[in-house]
Amino acid sequence: MRIALIHALRHSPPPIEAAFARLWPEARLMNLLDDSLSADLARDGALTPVMTERFLALARYAVGTGVQGILFTCSAFGPCIEAVQREFADIPVLKPNEAMIEEAAAAGTRIGLLASFAPTLQSMPPEFPGGITLETRVAEGALEALNRGDGAGHDRLAAEAARALAGCDAIALAQFSLASAAPLVAEATGRPVLTTPDSAVRKLRGLLRA
């Protein structure tokens, strides 16, 4: 079973590869990375038709290699991924956060949503079902720490930001790159913590093994 993983942040491959190694080691992975996508979104402040075409081009390349499924790991690009889902309706094409959102909705009605890339908190909340109250926080400086190679600092800043979410039923980490902070976030808040990589692998495996 060959799965394409399409990334817009260079920090995303390690956590999703680790999740596959734990939860579905038999899957064969193909990584496609264009980290200029996240930089361009941060610069432009909005998704554009040109950006959607770039997502479609990446997906067309992946499908041309014979993949059985596609998982995007870039949480801030929902409408672009939806365009890919429409074009390739015959195979599973997952948004990075849809599986985690489903698990979060089952965990309670008040969910904390923590991000280190602020645009994610614009695109992701509308994807949650009605009846869910979201408390959102940005882990300021965490992504910059990760960019410097300071993984420990990244995780610490994420945990500090998450303390404000301790009153929620569960905490959802909005980006694949935040997965490493899950143990510290759980320790800081005492709440169940959901990560996009683990949730996504569980859902994709279930769809392709059904």
Residue 204's nearest CA partner among 63, 1, 66 is: 1
pLDDT (tens digit per residue) in 138-185: 999 999 999 999 999 999 999 999 999 999 999 999 988 899 999 999
Say if residue 200's pLDDT is above 70.
yes
Say if residue 60's pLDDT is above 90.
yes
Q: Which residue has the higher pLDDT, 41 or 69?
A: 69
pTM of the model: 0.84
pLDDT for the residue 210: 55
d(CA 36, CA 48) in angstroms, rounded, equals: 14
The bridge status of strand 28-33 relative to strand 69-72 is unpaired
User: Could you tell me the pLDDT band of residue 12, with boundaries at 50, 70 and 90?
Assistant: confident
Q: Where are any strands of DSSP class E within the chain?
A: 2-7, 28-33, 69-72, 93-94, 110-115, 133-138, 170-173, 193-195
